[in-house]
Amino acid sequence: MLNVLLFLIAFLVGADELMLGPILAPIGNDLGVAPERVTLFITTYSVALACVAPFLGAYSDRHGRMAVLIPASLLFGLASVATGVVGTFEAGLVTRVVTGLASAGMLPIAFALAADASDGEAMKRIAWVQSGLTLGMIASPALGAFLTESLSWRAGFLVLGVCAWMVAAALGYLSVSEKALPVHTVVAPEAREASPSKIWAIPGAAGALLAMCFGLGGGIGLFNLIGQHLRDTQGVSMWSVGSLYAALGCVSVIGNLLMPRLSVRLESGRQVMRVALVVCVLVSVWFYLFPANSLLVLIPPLLLWSLAGGVGSPALQSYIAELSPAHRGILMSLAMTMMHLGVAMWSGVAGFAYSTGPVGMAMLAIVLFGVAITVLKPVKSNPI
């Protein structure tokens, strides 16, 4: 049951992050602002999550995962329902900030709780969390559009809120039974001395966290422009691009679930991520730099890119979780912070690079993935 709940937590956060995409116009029309201003709902959410996540992760190391996860899920439900009933744009910004704060106590803590399992189960649970996040991101644009067409843009937020409350109730039920939770739900006393600045000194942590920013965050920035590139070079319709993204997302979920099996064949999640990054840099450079006469020629490499990303992302999360069991919560939270900062920063840079032409995109891919590969160099194991 815990696996299912961790999956649902990640699904809710993933769905919340991308549901806004197709419904910006209805929200703007209802609240009396231009649709482009509604993108501030995304910005305020991401900034709040990135700023608060490390502190909530440290708190979970000291006082237990459930001490953060259950209140955060309740708050997420409250903030989502509040977003669904706001009457002004300004009030919506406030509720989105609160949603970001709640998400900071959900997704990274879910990853940490998954990693707290015994060695044989940790990677499988991390893969479950990652697949829930990926599936939420895939399904939410279509779900948000459907609910908006059928009812109102507010319905999607109301549904997310009620689901979050149900998950919180189920977590509360599980928390009364120690047998249902991993042994390390409350971590070692030395975690009380941790601080976000000291965590970077853990061997391997700096490289892994930078890889989250450059490799994962940068990769998302590059991947988001696939649709625009296909429309500009192949004349692909909006519907076809949306369908392609859905298919690529499903391939990423398959990659998430394949990660545990692939990891046992290599040294660690670090090595799996490095291999995935090599695949990503080769495919992305080829995709943006070399023109193709047919969309069918481009689909196989795009599927490979999605599969590599789907395998590499949870592998890197697994590696980060292993760096220091006593500080796992803050490590996973810093990883989420670095990823969100990377998405925000490199998406803007990717937009500028795209305007310069294919060479600019290829160079950016080489730099971002190249830096991530370099910083993920082997380190001597010295967990604290």
pLDDT digits (tens, 9 = 90+) for 304-361: 998 998 888 888 988 898 888 888 888 888 888 898 888 878 877 888 888 888 899 9
Residue 193 exposed, middle or buried by CB count within 10 Å (0-12, 13-18, 19+): exposed
What element of type H or E holds 276?
Answer: helix 269-289
Q: Is the pLDDT of residue 277 over 90?
A: yes
Mean pLDDT of 209-214: 93
pLDDT band at 96 (very low <50, low <70, confident <90, very high): very high
Global pTM value: 0.78
Q: What is the pLDDT of residue 265?
A: 67
Tens of pLDDT along 101-132?
Answer: 999 899 889 888 888 876 667 777 888 888 88
Which residues contact residue 296 at a Cβ distance below 8 angstroms, ignoring those fewer than 6 apart? none
Position 222 pLDDT exceeds 60: yes
Six token digits for residue 52: 């608060």
Q: Is the pLDDT of residue 38 over 90?
A: no
Alpha carbon 231 to its chain centroid, in Å, reads: 26
* 3-state class percentages of the chain: helix first, strand second, coil last, to nearest 5: 85, 0, 15
Determine the average pLDDT of the residues in 214-219.
89
Domains for the chain: give ranges and CATH numbers. 2-187 (1.20.1250.20), 196-375 (1.20.1250.20)
pLDDT of 74 reads: 95
> How far is Cα 383 from Cα 377, in angstroms, rounded to an integer?
16
- Residue 176, pLDDT score: 74
Residue 249 has pLDDT above 70, yes or no: yes
Amino acid 381: pLDDT:
53
Whether the predicted pLDDT of 378 surpasses 60: yes
The two tokens of residue 183 are 């042994």
Please provide the average confidence, as pLDDT, over all residues in the chain.
Answer: 82
Rounded mean pLDDT of 272-301? 86
Residues 134-178: pLDDT tens digits? 888 777 777 777 788 888 889 889 999 999 999 999 988 877 765
Residue 178: the pLDDT is 57
Percent of the chain with pLDDT over 70: 89
What is the pLDDT at residue 219? 87
- Which whole-number Å values give the CA distances from 227 to 21, 24, 145, 332, in the listed order? 14, 18, 19, 30
Question: pLDDT grade, residue 367 (50/70/90)?
Answer: very high
pLDDT at residue 69, rounded to an integer: 92
256 pLDDT higher than 80: yes
Residue 52: partners with Cβ closer than 8 Å, 6 or more residues away: 100, 101, 104, 105
11 phi and psi angles, rounded to 5 deg: -60, -45
Give residue 65's pLDDT band: very low, low, confident or very high (50, 70, 90): confident
